[in-house]
Structure 1
Amino acid sequence: MRPVRIALLIAALGAVQAQAGVFDDEEARRQVTDLKIKTEARFDQQAKAQLDLASQIQRQAEEIARLRGQVETLNYELETAKKRQQDFYLDLDSRLRKYETPPAATASSDPAGNGTPANAKPAGEPAREGQEYEAALNQFKAAKYKEAAASFGGFVQKYPDSSLAPNAQYWLGNAWYAQHNCTKAIEAQSVVTTKYADSAKAPDAWLAIATCQQELGNPTGVKRSLETVIAKYPTSPAAESAKTRLKKK
């Protein structure tokens, strides 16, 4: 009987070990499954975060593109407005030129009795002034701003007392502005506002100075220039423009 008992005991022990092995395998598989589920969940979470980030980046890119488009549109509208204003002043200047006449010679004769007006300019000088002024203006119209600046600068030096000198000085400032040189543009327009303060170009020169001051980042100067236009030339079209610009600040 003893060998049988021993055999049964060995068989029972083997069964227990086999059952323990089964339990160990199932536990291992369960842990592997749990780990797999957790890993997949983590990957899914990371993938969702990446998708959200990509979506956010896409929205920001679209917003940047939209803002860039708006900036380009505003720049185009600004340049168009500047061009229209420039064309308007050029056209107005040309129209006014048609109505300008050189000062008439006085009837008084020279002491010698030659019939020559006293203090008269040499014959043909007003015509030369007009030709030189028109040539400089045509250079400006053709966007030859460097040449126009030289021509207008030469004109005001040559004919400082001409009736066209304030206009030439004003367009000299615009020629510098067109070359993106606001410092020289302000210098030129300041001559209009001081030496030719009573001319029709003076209020426009103040507006041009304000524009340059704005581009140079001088808001105090801009406000002062616009207020000067309104105070000194209240009935001028430039004063209305100055009021509108002040309201926008």
Structure 2
Amino acid sequence: MNSNSVRTLALALLVSVAAPVAAAPAPVTEVGSGGTAIERLERMLQARNQMQLDMQRQLDQMAQELSNLRGNVERNSYDIQQVVERQRDLYREIDDLRTAKSSAPKETKSTDENPSVNYTNDQTENAAYEAAVNLILKEKDYQGATKAFNAFLQKYPESVYTANAHYWLGQLFFSKRDFEQASKEFTAVSQFKDSNKRADALLKLGLIAQKQGNTAQANQYFQQVIDTYPDSTSAKQAKNAM
């Protein structure tokens, strides 16, 4: 086979390979430039390959952005769930506080039978505690509430609301995913054996340990909730978390 035949065959093969890109216009500078037909076809193939690489990079970028958006949606869903849970707890706390006021005796009194209605006749103390709670419930000022509860604990370290104040601080830190500080506050609540917040505080300690990868410690907290408060909502949540 002579050189002309080889050249003609090579040209035919390149034409057949380049046929799919015929619809994609090559740059004017490439088409209009000099050179043989084979060289022009090679430049067309190179342009096609470069276009495919650019498209693949764009697709990869879009896939990454979609993955990031999906992650943001999941995090937002979790945050919303935490807000709903916190609001539910806050409404329950306000109901307890109002019940305590309506049934409060003239003198300070605390009963083991119903520790959730512990109440003091110190109106300044009551006002300070309720103001801190209202910063969460009414004002949605969570940073201000954190400062208010800390100030309350410093001013009234022996208050009947001490366990509750630590509990709400724990909730505030937990919602911000500040698990180290939340753990300190919930641990403080767990020291009050008669607190109606103790079961949930132990549950939160278990959830924090679980989030930190300490499964054994988490299960210990969960089991403590189940054993100590078997009929509580916290116990049901602890069973589901194990």
TM over 0.5: yes
Corresponding residue for 2:142?
145
Corresponding residue for 1:232?
228
SS in 2 for 1:234: coil
Q: Alpha carbons of 1:220 and 1:41: their partners in 2 closer, same or farther (altered >3 Å)?
A: farther
Q: Does structure 1 conserve the Cα–Cα contact (< 8 Å) formed by 2:203 and 2:225?
A: yes
Distance in 1 separating the partners of 2:163 and 2:94: 14
Q: Alpha carbons of 1:213 and 1:44: their partners in 2 closer, same or farther (altered >3 Å)?
A: farther
Structure number with greater Rg is: 1
Q: Supply the AA of the counterpart residue of 1:105.
A: E
Shift of 1:168: 1.0
Corresponding residue for 1:205?
201
Distance in 1 separating the partners of 2:15 and 2:220: 69
Q: Does structure 2 conserve the Cα–Cα contact (< 8 Å) formed by 1:132 and 1:155?
A: yes
Q: Does structure 1 conserve the Cα–Cα contact (< 8 Å) formed by 2:79 and 2:175?
A: no
How is 1:74-223 mapped onto 2 (pairs within 5 angstroms)? 74-100=74-100, 101-105=103-107, 125-141=121-137, 142-194=139-191, 196-223=192-219
Note if 1:242 corresponds to 2:238.
Answer: yes
Q: Alpha carbons of 1:208 and 1:177: their partners in 2 closer, same or farther (altered >3 Å)?
A: same
Q: Deviations for 1:45-100, whole angstroms, at most 9, x for unmatched residues?
A: 97898788778767666654554443333222212211111111111000111111
SS in 2 for 1:200: coil
Distance in 2 separating the partners of 1:105 and 1:92: 25
Shift of 1:31: 1.4
Q: Does structure 2 conserve the Cα–Cα contact (< 8 Å) formed by 1:145 and 1:176?
A: no
Distance in 2 separating the partners of 1:98 and 1:69: 43
Aligned residues: 203
Shift of 1:200: 0.6
2:7 aligns with one of 29, 32, 56: 32
Q: Alpha carbons of 1:44 and 1:213: their partners in 2 closer, same or farther (altered >3 Å)?
A: farther
Distance in 2 separating the partners of 1:81 and 1:72: 14
Q: Alpha carbons of 1:183 and 1:99: their partners in 2 closer, same or farther (altered >3 Å)?
A: same
SS in 1 for 2:2: helix
Distance in 2 separating the partners of 1:190 and 1:55: 55
Q: Alpha carbons of 1:55 and 1:80: their partners in 2 closer, same or farther (altered >3 Å)?
A: same
| Structure 1 unmatched runs, 5+ | 1-25, 107-123
Q: Alpha carbons of 1:51 and 1:180: their partners in 2 closer, same or farther (altered >3 Å)?
A: same
Q: Supply the AA of the counterpart residue of 1:83.
A: V
Q: Does structure 2 conserve the Cα–Cα contact (< 8 Å) formed by 1:102 and 1:126?
A: no
Q: Supply the AA of the counterpart residue of 1:97.
A: L
Corresponding residue for 2:117?
none
Corresponding residue for 1:119?
none
Structure number with greater CO (CA < 8 Å, separation at least 6) is 2
Q: Alpha carbons of 1:93 and 1:224: their partners in 2 closer, same or farther (altered >3 Å)?
A: same
Distance in 2 separating the partners of 1:79 and 1:214: 17
Q: Does structure 1 conserve the Cα–Cα contact (< 8 Å) formed by 2:106 and 2:121?
A: no
Distance in 2 separating the partners of 1:72 and 1:146: 24
TM-score (norm 2): 0.69
CA RMSD, 1 decimal: 3.2
Q: Deviations for 1:202-228, whole angstroms, at most 9, x for unmatched residues?
A: 011122223333443333333222222
Q: Deviations for 1:176-203, whole angstroms, at most 9, x for unmatched residues?
A: 3344422111011101011x12211001
| Structure 2 unmatched runs, 5+ | 21-44, 109-119
Q: Does structure 2 conserve the Cα–Cα contact (< 8 Å) formed by 1:133 and 1:152?
A: yes
TM-score (norm 1): 0.67
